[in-house]
Structure 1
Amino acid sequence: MKTILKNSILVLAILSFNFAYSWGTTGHRVIAEIAQNHLSGKAKRHLKKLIGDEKLAYWANWPDFIKADTTGVWKQTEQWHYINVDPQMNIQSFTQSLKAQKAPNIYTQIKILSDQIKDKNTSVKDKEIALRFLIHLMGDAAQPLHVGRAEDLGGNKIKLKFFGENTNLHSLWDTKLVDSQKYSYTEFASVLDVKSKEEVKQIQAGTLEDWLYDSHKQANRIYSNSVADASYSYDYNYKFEPLLERQLLYGGLRLAKILNEVL
């Protein structure tokens, strides 16, 4: 059964090749690899019961791969990857806006998935599925445009060029900016994961609401410095590479914090 599942995932990955997804395969694996480095002994033991010796990076893109499924089984999960929020000036108004949205979204689902994994009555199989989604959605939460604006669908409607190629703002941040760094996911994780224990603790501090607000603020910065129909190349990379690296690192460390709490 496990072999069949892995083969199915491979097929879905191939079918999904031309789709634009959150962070792309590299970005999500960077975040998962960093998280792997910061798991507690207890979390590692529980993970072994759920996924054996497989690494978090193996499952990091599964919730995107299943978007290629044609049966409709996973259709309802497509909303889980983002939340659209109008620009908010402070954490209080942002949190109110988060909680006012009742439809399933990245905020509601991270909380639900975390509770499912913690619940002793959840079956092992359901915990495993919840884990796959949690790994991925915590990565999505660190991609600023997944906490972007409804008017442009998180930057999807903002067309521009990057190194002469037609794209949009969302796709630029999902894949093209990450891939332009020319690292494998293990190399990228290695060069980013160099913070001291005290710095890691500071990055992991706060709540899910705080972390989503952090991404929302970065999204506002990106919007302010990205012009529709513009043509970008090295200039954009120079301006935003530090933020890109920050978000990947923060995503990994905060994923580790969540996993250490729920496992």
Structure 2
Amino acid sequence: MYSKILMLLFVSSSLYSYAWGLTGHRIIAEIAENHLCGKARREIKKMMGKERLAYWANWPDFIKSDTTGVWKQASSWHYVNIDPQVDFKAFEQNLKMQAGPSLYTQINTLSAQIKDKKTSEKDRKIALIFLIHIMGDLAQPLHVGRAEDLGGNKIDVTYFGEKTNLHSVWDGKLVDSQKYSYTEYATLLDIRTKEEVKQIQSGTLEDWLYDSHKIANKIYAQTPNESKLSYDYQYKFNETMERQLLYGGLRLAKVLNDLF
């Protein structure tokens, strides 16, 4: 079954449009790989083989097309919906009160599975692949959005005249509009000093989620339903989008380095 599902990796990538999209997730994974410590790099290679992290970064989205139901329970791992909160304390309390698996709970669960020596080799690899992916989801602000509109999926907009929704704009359209390959974009973004990297990687998982949540609130405020988006929207939010890609990669590296 595992090998059969892995074959989904080779289905045409044009069929998929999830989370950061193909390019965004690969940018985050590539930046993370550039910041792995020696031990983490060696341990991950033992688990994953010769492929770079970017090769696996979109697999948890690819398997959404699986029809066997094997991965049905994983659909809620990609996001955590939360209403606007007045401050970090309220956000953290609300976050911890939510029932069921989510982006928040699953990052901790997957990390524990990877660290547990009793976890099988196959399951550790799957857990690592999911962790690479959903740490990228964490950095996409609308994956820490609101339940009422499914993280912007129910907010209709046009992007350069094309009918779409707010979530899709942030998933891929803003990134892909820049016309860089994922390696080009990772190289262009990954230019912070060691001190700046350390600062970006500081804080807790809850801090990082709150960071994305605050940005989501700004996006909602400035993108009402039926908005017509084009160059002005790119100008307004491109810096934020690039920040989130960089922060996602650096924070993923921090999690992986701590794990190994």
Verify same fold: TM over 0.5.
Answer: yes
Following superposition of structure 1 onto structure 2, how do residues 134-145 of structure 1 map, counting pairs within 5 Å? 134-145=131-142
Q: Is the 8 A contact 2:139 2:245 kept in 1?
A: yes
1:1-20 correspondence runs (5 A): 7-11=7-11, 14=12, 17-20=14-17
Q: Which residue is 1:189 aligned to? A: 186
Which shifted more, 45-54 or 206-215? 45-54
Q: Distance in 2 between matches of 1:6 and 1:86?
A: 36
The amino acid across from 2:111 in the alignment is S
- The answer on 1:126 being equivalent to 2:103 is no
Is the contact made by 2:8 and 2:63 (CA closer than 8 Å) also made in structure 1? no
Question: Match for residue 232 of structure 1?
Answer: 229
User: Do the aligned partners of 2:157 and 2:163 also contact (CA within 8 Å) in 1?
Assistant: yes
Q: With the length of structure 2 as denominator, give the TM-score of the two structures.
A: 0.97
SS for the counterpart of 2:14 is coil
User: SS of the counterpart of 1:166?
Assistant: strand
Q: CA RMSD in A?
A: 1.5
Structure 2 counterpart of 1:10, one-letter code: F
Distance 1:211 1:153 in 2: 20
2:104 equivalent among 104, 107, 114: 107
The Cα shift of 1:2 comes to 9.6
Partner of 1:34: 31
Q: For the residues of structure 1 that align with 2:92 and 2:56, how far apart are their CA atoms? A: 30
Q: Which residue of 1 aligns with 2:205?
A: 208
State the percentage of identical aligned residues: 66
Aligned to 1:162: 159
The answer as to 2:233 corresponding to 1:250 is no
> Partner amino acid for 1:213?
Y
- Distance in 1 of aligned mates of 2:142 and 2:3: 35
The 4+ residue runs of structure 1 with deviation greater than 4 A are 1-6
**Matched residues in 1 for 2:221 and 2:117: separation?**
46
* CA–CA distance in structure 2, aligned partners of residues 36 and 137 of structure 1: 16
Aligned pair 1:262/2:259, yes or no? yes
Q: Distance in 1 between matches of 2:152 and 2:176?
A: 18
Deviation at 1:123, TM superposition (A): 1.3
Partner SS for 2:157: strand
Per-residue Cα deviation, 1:14-50 (whole angstroms, up to 9, x for no partner) = 2x63443100000000000000000000101101110
| Corresponding position of 2:176 | 179
Give secondary structure in 2 for the equivalent of 1:17. Answer: helix
How far, CA to CA, are the matches of 2:249 and 2:137 in structure 1? 11
Q: State the TM-score, normalized to the length of structure 1.
A: 0.96
> Aligned partners of 1:82, 1:222: CA distance in 2, in Å?
17
| Residues 145 and 216, structure 2, Cα contact 8 Å, conserved in 1 | yes
Which residue identity is paired with 1:9? L
C-alpha separation in 2, matches of 1:147 and 1:200:
23
Query: Quick one: distance in 2 between partners of 1:153 and 1:5?
Result: 27
In the alignment, structure 1 segments of 5+ residues that lack a partner are none
User: Does residue 79 in structure 1 map to residue 76 in structure 2?
Assistant: yes
Rounded to whole Å, the distance in 2 between the matches of 1:187 and 1:9 is: 22
Contact 2:28 2:136 in 1 (8 A): yes
**CA offset at residue 8 of structure 1?**
3.6
CA distance in 1, matches of 2:31, 2:86: 31
Count matched residues. Answer: 260
